[in-house]
Structure 1
Amino acid sequence: MTRKTDARARAIAAAIRLFRMQGYTATGLTQILEESGAPKGSFYFHFPRGKVQLAEEAIDLYVSGRMNVIRDISAATAGDALGFTHRLCDAFAADMIASNFQYGCLMQNLANELPSLDAELTARVARGFVDSTAIVAEHFKNCGFAPAQASSAASALVAALEGARTIARLERTPAVFKALADVSAQRWASGPAQR
């Protein structure tokens, strides 16, 4: 018999996969239950507020994982803005390849449809972008960028990565991530003091 905690974790994992593939409104509870193998009674035991509570937890887990990836790359490329950018591009490209270009960004997918549906979930997604972008900005500051430059570069990079993910998904190739890394190399060749 499946443990309750397994059913809960499987439901969250299924929601993350489905939200990344098809968004929030196109993902029904029946599909989540089928994907996770959780009985309906168990689902409501773990998520008494239903799909909204599941979405909150899916967003939180996805954002936490995203932030951990960014922190790990930052630690591995300390003091190296270009190396950091290349590694982020590589990580996003690898994620797309691993999903056979099926997965978009959960936060981006939900950000495109939630503002008219749920203010609380929208705010949660927005915090996810703010918090993960702050890690990128901190890395750039530690590379010698002035605070305003670090913030601007981080916002631009995160926006570019999200756009690149959409293009990679449509074209079914990671080539756009290499193009983004190459443009960053050209832009930053002269170092942070020249920005």
Structure 2
Amino acid sequence: MSKEVAVPEQRDRMVAGAADMLRRRGYNATSVRELAKHTGAPLGSTYHYFPGGKAQLAAEAVRLADGLIARTLTRELAAGPIAGLRAFVATWRGIVLDSDFQAGCPVLAVAVEEHPDLDAEPRHAAAAAFARWTDLLAAALREHGATIEDAARTAALVVAAIEGSVAVCRAQRAIDPLDRIADALEAAVRAVLPAAPA
């Protein structure tokens, strides 16, 4: 019984470790060997669980990050678009500060790197993550009265601006860019929602 439980736990630990390495170092600087060392897993078991190698592992790490953000958004958007936006910002604010500006978004890390060996699977996972976050935000905006076009445009703005500001925060080793973007995005979200009755 304990052996059956250990298998998924070890595999999950490797995926989480890959997500952590991607958000800190990017795709090109993350190797399967270093990942095995980082998670304390034997190198052979890494290839056992991920026969597709680095590309498969990176794609699964991106899907893990996607799922975590999507669950946070889904939960917080139930209270409205502003609550969802604030939760999205708070998540990235926490990641940047808790890592002392060493970590960003593993989805962005995979999406922006050019490398001849970068398999389509990680890129597709990154594209799907950004699309899902945008769709969740857009749906909440529509449900609260935004037009279809305003909802789509504003949701895309939120995801792109926050992802970009996280990168700026890391480069400047300051959280101010994210905080300023958060204020501007909140104003943008409010602008596309119907005014509350007086």
TM-score band, normalised by shorter chain: 0.7 to 0.9
Following superposition, the deviation at residue 70 of structure 1 comes to 1.2
What is the TM-score with the length of structure 2 in the denominator? 0.86
Partner of residue 99, structure 1: 99
Q: May I ask how many residue pairs the two structures share in their alignment?
A: 191
Does 2:36 match 1:43?
no
Give the distance between the partners of 2:76 and 2:184, measured in 1 at CA: 19
Deviates more, 1:153-162 or 1:89-98: 89-98
Give the SS at the match of 2:20: helix
Following superposition, the deviation at residue 137 of structure 1 comes to 0.6
For structure 2, list consecutive stretches of 5 or more residues without a partner in the other structure.
none
Partner of residue 134, structure 2: 133
Give the distance between the partners of 1:37 and 1:15, measured in 2 at CA: 12
Letter in structure 2 aligned against 1:85:
L
Following superposition, the deviation at residue 60 of structure 1 comes to 1.3
Name the CA shift for 1:148/1:40 in 2 (closer, same or farther; >3 Å): same
Name the CA shift for 1:115/1:126 in 2 (closer, same or farther; >3 Å): farther
Deviates more, 1:184-193 or 1:12-21: 184-193
Partner of residue 58, structure 1: 61
- Given that 2:77 and 2:84 are in contact with CA atoms closer than 8 Å, whether structure 1 keeps it comes out as yes
Partner of residue 160, structure 1: 161
Give the distance between the partners of 1:113 and 1:190, measured in 2 at CA: 34
Give the SS at the match of 1:144: coil
1:163-185 per-position Cα deviation (integer Å, ceiling 9, x unaligned): 11011111222222221222234
Partner of residue 144, structure 2: 143
What is the TM-score with the length of structure 1 in the denominator? 0.87
Deviates more, 1:133-142 or 1:49-58: 49-58
Counterpart among 16, 21, 27 of residue 18 in structure 1 = 21
Following superposition, the deviation at residue 114 of structure 1 comes to 5.0
For structure 1, list consecutive stretches of 5 or more residues without a partner in the other structure.
none
Following superposition, the deviation at residue 56 of structure 1 comes to 2.0
Give the distance between the partners of 2:115 and 2:129, measured in 1 at CA: 15
Question: In percent, how many aligned pairs have the same letter?
Answer: 28
- Given that 2:73 and 2:136 are in contact with CA atoms closer than 8 Å, whether structure 1 keeps it comes out as yes
Give the distance between the partners of 1:188 and 1:20, measured in 2 at CA: 28
Partner of residue 87, structure 2: 87
Matches within 5 A, 1:69-80: 69-75=72-78, 77-78=79-80
